[in-house]
Structure 1
Amino acid sequence: MSEDDLDDLAMTLAQDVVGTTGDPGTAAAVLYQASVAVLFAHFPAEQIAAALKDIMEIAHADVAEALGEGATVQ
């Protein structure tokens, strides 16, 4: 998948989860739990902690980038 495809999929999942939960904070927690479930299902145990760290670093960088581009809370 291209970077744009990944971004589109992430936005679709985020919108679906927010629509289902009705709460952005809960939606973020659900998406994080889903990423943990994927890691446990598809990664060797010794790689899970490092993969979670990578996910958090990517999320942090994405938020910082969005804020730097003038993103605001919707």
Structure 2
Amino acid sequence: MPNSPVPPRSTPRPDSEPYRAPRPARDELKRFAHPVVGDLALRRQALTVGGAEQQVIIVYQATAGSPSEAALARLA
């Protein structure tokens, strides 16, 4: 981009960390087709563990009151 105040990520800057490949989205909607309860739309969140950034906890959650929440309840 011409006249951009922020240089592209591939441009090395002495005051920045080395370039790292982009990580997957940490909060996104995932859709599943379950063989018993049908379609599910679940929010996926990736949480890093303090002091151990290589470890990640993945949480899937249905929106309250949604058909996906009711479907998950039928599986419990």
Normalising by structure 1, report the TM-score. Answer: 0.22
Q: Which has the higher helix share?
A: 1
Q: Whose Rg is larger?
A: 2
Name the one with the larger strand percent.
2
